[in-house]
Amino acid sequence: MTKKAKTFRPKARVPRGFRDRLGAEIIAEREMLARISAVYESYGFDPLETPAFEYTDALGKFLPDVDRPNQGVFSLQDDDEQWMSLRYDLTAPLARYVAENYDALAKPFRRYAVGPVWRNEKPGPGRYRQFTQCDADTVGTPAPHADAEMCMLFAEVIEAAGVPAGDFVIRVSNRKIIDGLFEKIGLAGEGDAATRLNVMRSMDKFDRLGEAGVRALLGPGRKDESGDFTKGVGLADSNIESVVAFLTSAVLKDKAKGPTLTGANEETLNKIASVLNETPSGRSGVDELMAINRQILDKYKGAIAIDLSIIRGLEYYTGPVFEADLTFEALDEKGRPVRFGSVGGGGRYDGLVERFKGIEVPAVGISVGVSRLLAALELKRGAATAVAGPVVILALENDQMADYQAMAAELRAAGVRAEVYLGGSNFAKQLKYADKRGAPLAIIQGEDERAKGEVKVKDLVLGAELSKKIDDNAQWREAQPAQTSVKRANLVEEVKRALARK
């Protein structure tokens, strides 16, 4: 007897580092992106959509190795043996698009883009391999005018996303000022790259470790609370003083609660100028920030602060750098305080198109971390915002399906989400389905209701609340709480009235 071959059944599973999303989260993201996009368009930016795949050599740092490109990107080889990779951000495709269409584009070129990007990196808690970015960029305008506008746009976008004024700050620094600092302490040479990186890593811990901790890391080293020792950079005392003066140039009221500036931006810049003005790069960076600050409209000045402790991203940017920080605290599910910090960044990168055309094309842009911003707002509200399901019209009689669909069509025409149940005529199953869908109302019309020219509007939310107070099933059926009979012609009016009460 031949043994029956076992049928292969793949295991249903989502790839590591990816996730499924449903309902409320998607709707909240879509609404946030619509508000952000409206601000971008109000500033004159046009939407641009580019393919998910780009040729790998167009992505810059991710070039094919001997076998296949695999560091940081997901790649495949086309039938013409050219490597293609999923885009890892929205900026590299912009560079390719501008270079490809350079002569035809009006310059400055202003575009915004919204879409998923992919990173072939190790996933972790809250860190996924696919996520949404929402960018705006101006290409073809040198500093400082577009940079000042970008700071104001950034502030307006974060507020439009749902963060009230006073709960965020746009922190502004400049890569050239960092370069000036390294010129001052004698670390500007090509052979000093490793030391510069260690200095910047130490400076990046200023928020967490404070002045004393950074001093130790810049000097002989630091022992943490667990007793672990981190070897220091070994700078001379005079150079440590210059770095600390740099980091503390913006007088902050309470660093633990975010960069709330007590002094004016001009005072901050005057302080750093006194430290770095003898260096060419430092002087140029201060001048650019001075020019940006003069162009910031009064309505935005409370939200935009010069803060030279921004370190991350400075290897990428060529001039001004921006970071959007949330300053409010929220409580996690265990009641512990959480501060989200950065929810977006940007800056000037004047080498954007040069790789393709051999000429420098100035550019500046911002990128909003949509997922992180949504998570922060959700945590601040204390729970996810529930999205009501559709009104469900129960289909009790198969030969009346056209009438049920007519009810749904009338409700949709009035702006109400509505659907007809299409899974069979069992009454209990239909109500159970409506509950699972989060439906606020169920519409019921059987033979008796139709004979009277009526429908029943059942408030499922109120019914669920009242059911907790009634123990007797017979009493429940007799009372029929949270259920109203109305004339069929008044269906839309009654549904809208019931929804308005919620």
C-alpha 110/C-alpha 40 separation (Å) is: 10
Number of H helices, E strands in the chain: 17, 18
Strands (E) across 183-254 are located at 221-223, 229-231
Residues of the chain with pLDDT under 70: 1-2, 61-70, 250-264, 331-335, 338, 382-387, 463-481
Residue limits of CATH 3.30.930.10 in the chain: 24-190+245-381
**DSSP 8-state secondary structure symbol assigned to residue 305:** E
Within the chain, all domains assigned CATH 3.40.50.800 are found at: 391-500
Contact 328, 334 (CB under 8 A): no
Residues 6+ apart with CB under 8 A from 290: 266, 269
- The whole-number pLDDT of residue 394 equals 97
Q: What's the per-residue H, E or C state across 362-410?
A: CEEEEEEEHHHHHHHHHHHHCCCCCCCCCEEECCCCHHHHHHHHHHHHH
Tens of pLDDT, residue by residue over 147-158, are 999 999 999 999
Contacts of 501 (CB under 8 A, 6+ apart): none
Q: Hey, what CATH topology would domain 24-190+245-381 get?
A: BirA Bifunctional Protein; domain 2 (3.30.930)
The CATH code that applies to domain 391-500 is 3.40.50.800
> CA 219: distance to chain centroid?
37
CA-wise closest residue to 370 among 22, 13, 25, 47:
25
- The Cα-based distances of 212 to 207, 216, 244, 326 in angstroms read 11, 6, 10, 25
Amino acid occupying residue 158:
I
| 341/32 Cα distance (integer angstroms) | 19
